Structure 1
Amino acid sequence: MQLLQTLAELNDWRREQVGRPLHFVPTMGSLHQGHQQLLQRACAAVPAGRPAVLLSVFVNPLQFGPAEDFDRYPRDLAADAALGEAAGAEALFAPSVQELFPGGEAQLTGVVPPAALRQSLCGPGRPGHFEGVATVVCRLLALVRPDRLLLGEKDWQQLMILRRVVADLALPLTVQGCATVREVDGLACSSRHRYLRASERDQAAALPAALGAAQALWREGIASAALLSASVRRDLEAAGLAVEYVQLVQPSTLSPVTTADGGLVLLAAAARCGSTRLIDHLFLMNRPPIVAIDGPAGAGKSTVTRAFARRLGLLYLDTGAMYRALTWWVLHQGVDPADAAAIAPLLVDLDLQLESDAGGEQRVQVNGHEVSEAIRGPEVTAAVSAVAAHACVRAALTGQQQAMGQRGGLVAEGRDIGTAVFPEAECKVFLTATVAERARRRAADLAQRGFAVPPLAELEAQIAERDRLDSTRAEAPLRQAADAVELVTDGLGIDAVIQRLVDLFRERVPEDAWPGPGAP
């Protein structure tokens, strides 16, 4: 691993990495298992290839208050370099204050995050702290210019503030949060634990224990922020800790909430154990997350949604396959797809089954008929918009879908998932592509399935007409939900689209709340 201590050395190293994605883990040193996991995650390959991984160590004077521990903050660059190299970092950037702030701290342009994100949790007790964090991280990002910035979820408020700063300044990188790493006694890993005397370790462990006890109360039906906070405060004080705050907040805005019964919330606390300041949190989520992926026909939703759901350990609900299966049944019964009155009786006792086979592929049955391949044929494709437009059809299938989603833990894709079926979904994406791109993909799919392939111009006309029908129908028209993120997939491979979906999901559902499969 290369040690870089000057801006010139950093620039030379960066030039050697041209053509590789660059992942960056900024720290203040005194590295521990949490930093080790961040570096290991940073080393993971991405669709763009194997990344170059840069670790930085810089004890930032801007984020310490006058009475805080800047002078005694633990520093051991040799140990940090050994851990970083073992975890896979290719270079360590460890500049001096003079190197990073050549004009002096007083001459540095400061970055001030939104006040709303600094008014709760650690903000009031550490005036100027998050301004110092945001300023030095922006300085580092400008010098390093990474593709991906990896931060721990343990410092949740810091993560939310830096995400907001990156978004507001339109910095061209992805911010990735990684799950909190804990020691054997449950204490969240922190460099400041080195301050704890042996006699204070048991006291410090009371913090995660108190939060866990409050979580148990919440599971028993106690949702009041006042009662949950009082429980945590009481347990911390009983252990001899000096409580700074206990708060229940909305995770992304950090604004206080009064109850923990309206979706994902964050219960956070800070306390002092002797001279050591401790912070910790946990998430309260009343059901597993739901992801709604909408978009026009032929945008590739089914392919990426299936893989995305598998990666996150969520169930895959292909609502489009449900409409196609019903359309197949309508045609099979010789009913006119435009005749709602004739279709309505077919909805009575309709038996639709969606299952995954041993290879993870979805199998579809309707009233005992295996139709997985048949529903992708041109005849069904041509008729499905007409069938889906009927109010009786939308009501019947929406009811089935919502019943499937009552327990959460699923990814659903279709035309109106985020607007009509699951408007309360934690993550909403409008996945689309240009008409030309969708026509090209449709031609390739038809050829692969052994169907005749019309001219591209004809396919483009069909897709454009389908878009018009879907977006103008009276019942649940195709449109992007107000809180959905548009993802245009032209020029993106499947793996790149999946990674983008994962990143969007993690902006809304942290790993601490939903670890996903294979998590420790």
Structure 2
Amino acid sequence: MILLRTCDELRRWCGPPQRRQRPLNFVPTMGALHPGHLSLISSALQTRPSPNGEVLRPRVLVSLFVNPLQFGPREGFVSYPRDLGADCRTAENAGVEALFAPSEQELFPGGESELTRVIPPPSLMGSLCGRSRPGHFEGVATVVARLLALIRPDCLLLGEKDWQQLVILRRVVADLGLAVEVRGCRTWREPDGLAGSSRNRYLSAQERRQAAALPAALRSVRVRLAAGEPLGEPMVQKLRLDLETAGLIVEYADLVDPASLQPLPTLAGGQRLSLLAVAVRCGSTRLIDHLLLMPRLPIVAIDGPAGAGKSTVTRAFAKQMGLIYLDTGAMYRAVTWWVQRHGVDAADAAAIEPLLTGLELSLEGGGDGDLRVLVNGHDVTVAIRDPSVTAQVSAVAAHACVREGLTRQQQAMGEKGGLVAEGRDIGTAVFPHADLKVFLTATVAERARRRALDLEQRGFAVPPLMDLETQIAERDHLDSSRTIAPLRQAEDAVKLITDGMGVEAVIEALVELFRERVPEDAWPES
């Protein structure tokens, strides 16, 4: 392992991003490395496909800098544990290739007074730890932004234990337009549940036993919720009482939205993920922890126009995240095939409605991992991809009887969550409370090119690209102008334009968006 002490050494070791042969992953720390840090390093060492599908072993860089900007007047900056030799040995044994340990003068050459500061949004800094630690997150954001500018890594890895810090740094990276993925990693815990922290070494033997009451109290909340007790102020007050009874001084115990960090009065029926965050004092040591609460398993809604590649990436994304894949487009294609089989006009709603009575439509996972579509037990997976079905599916899907029937079936499938669905109105009509909504699209020209390739691979005749572009544009118009459930981007959906992106790159973008909303602590990757 290489020990880097100056910014010049760091720049030379990192090299320009465009000349790197392998991805560079970065784990920032203040030293006093413990198993929680090692779990971050382990995640950083994992190989992941590049946008072109190539799998490369990443280089891992760890920084060690006790940041004076994030300490308050009585927060123990001078006494913070420092042992560079021990940290170097720990990092090297973990597989780290380089450790950057600059002096304060090296990182702040003009001194703190001349340093350009990064000030995150007050709405994110004003809650939880920010109330009692003014200037803390400004100090964190300033130093991390400085490090990111020097290193320009492909990925920044942060622990989910410091959830507020993770949310703030994600916002800083997004607002400053920094080209780096921010990856949150699951909290490492000791056998009794205490979250890993460098501050745990401050605890005496008696205080360490006392500190175990923090994770125990949070586990008790989960047990009471599972038993049907509603989550509201009475339960939060009971949590505070349990902590105080154990001799811990409660700084806060707040129920907040995990994305905005704003208070939530209760876990309402339509509420998605919630965060119960706690900070306590055990002796002179400040400890934080949280509990992520889901009224149901996560739901991802992916909408977009025809030919945007939704089915391909959604299927792969669902498999990677351990979610059920719900191909609603295939369901509408199956109904269209059924209508054609009966020789009924796709525009005749009155003639179509009786065909829906007794129609048994099911989606099954095949032995090869692909989705099979069955109509009354008959496998129509290939048949529904015929161009004749494609030409009429918009007309059939526009009928209220079809939309209502399939929407009810899809919502029933999603009652327990744990799925990703794609279609035209998933985020607006079917799952309006989805945890993540994505509007996946591409230009008409790009979709026509993909459609031609798909037809060729399936053995169908391939029309001229100009004709395919015309067909796609016409279908876009039909889908977006229909009266019933028109194609439109949900207000809270993220628009993802996939021109020039390979399948792996789109999947990686979806995973990153998912992790911004659903942490590993709540839903580990399969």
Aligned to 2:10: 10
Aligned to 2:355: 346
Name which of 469, 481, 485 aligns with 1:472. 481
Name which of 366, 376, 396 aligns with 2:405. 396
Name which of 162, 167, 174 aligns with 1:167. 174
Residue identity matched to 1:332: R
Aligned to 1:58: 65
What is the deviation of 1:419? 0.8
How many angstroms apart in 2 are the aligned matches of 1:88 and 1:353?
A: 48
Q: Deviations over 1:411-458 (max 9, x none)?
A: 000011011111110100011111111111111111111111111111
How many angstroms apart in 2 are the aligned matches of 1:320 and 1:251?
A: 31
For residues 377-416 of structure 1, what are the structure 2 equivalents within 5 Å? Answer: 377-416=386-425
Name the Cα RMSD after superposition: 1.3
How many angstroms apart in 1 are the aligned matches of 2:264 and 2:398?
A: 40
Aligned to 2:53: none
With over 3 angstroms needed to count, the CA separation of the structure-2 counterparts of 1:16 and 1:467, relative to structure 1, is: closer
What is the deviation of 1:224? 4.1
Aligned to 1:375: 384
Aligned to 2:118: 111
How many angstroms apart in 2 are the aligned matches of 1:143 and 1:355?
A: 49
Q: 492-501 or 44-53: which moved more? A: 44-53
Aligned to 1:435: 444
What is the deviation of 1:87? 2.6
Between the two proteins, the alignment pairs up a number of residues equal to 517
Name which of 125, 131, 140 aligns with 1:124. 131
Residue 212 of structure 2 is aligned to residue 229 of structure 1: no
**Secondary structure of 2:99's aligned partner:** strand
How many angstroms apart in 1 are the aligned matches of 2:475 and 2:104?
A: 60
**What residue ranges of structure 2 are gaps of 5+ in the alignment?**
51-55
**Secondary structure of 1:327's aligned partner:** helix
What is the deviation of 1:11? 1.1
Aligned to 1:29: 31
How many angstroms apart in 2 are the aligned matches of 1:29 and 1:403?
A: 50
**Secondary structure of 1:74's aligned partner:** coil
Aligned to 2:428: 419
TM-score by length of 2: 0.96
How many angstroms apart in 1 are the aligned matches of 2:94 and 2:394?
A: 52
Residue identity matched to 2:95: G
Residue identity matched to 1:50: R
8 A Cα contact 2:255 2:264, kept in partner: yes
What is the deviation of 1:16? 7.3
8 A Cα contact 2:38 2:94, kept in partner: yes
Aligned to 1:501: 510
How many angstroms apart in 2 are the aligned matches of 1:417 and 1:85?
A: 48
8 A Cα contact 1:30 1:76, kept in partner: yes
Aligned to 1:326: 335
8 A Cα contact 2:40 2:159, kept in partner: yes
8 A Cα contact 2:272 2:434, kept in partner: no
8 A Cα contact 2:188 2:196, kept in partner: yes
Q: Deviations over 1:257-290 (max 9, x none)?
A: 1112322111111111112111100111100010
8 A Cα contact 1:218 1:228, kept in partner: no
Aligned to 2:151: 144
Residue identity matched to 2:359: L
Name which of 245, 248, 254 aligns with 2:255. 248
TM-score by length of 1: 0.97
What is the deviation of 1:85? 2.2
Residue identity matched to 2:386: G
8 A Cα contact 2:438 2:495, kept in partner: yes
**Secondary structure of 1:124's aligned partner:** helix
Aligned to 1:71: 78
How many angstroms apart in 1 are the aligned matches of 2:151 and 2:232?
A: 42
Name which of 257, 277, 282 aligns with 1:273. 282
How many angstroms apart in 1 are the aligned matches of 2:93 and 2:395?
A: 60
Q: Deviations over 1:19-75 (max 9, x none)?
A: 333211111011111111111111222332433221100000011111111111111
Name which of 192, 212, 216 aligns with 1:205. 212
How many angstroms apart in 2 are the aligned matches of 1:272 and 1:424?
A: 37
Sequence identity, in percent? 68
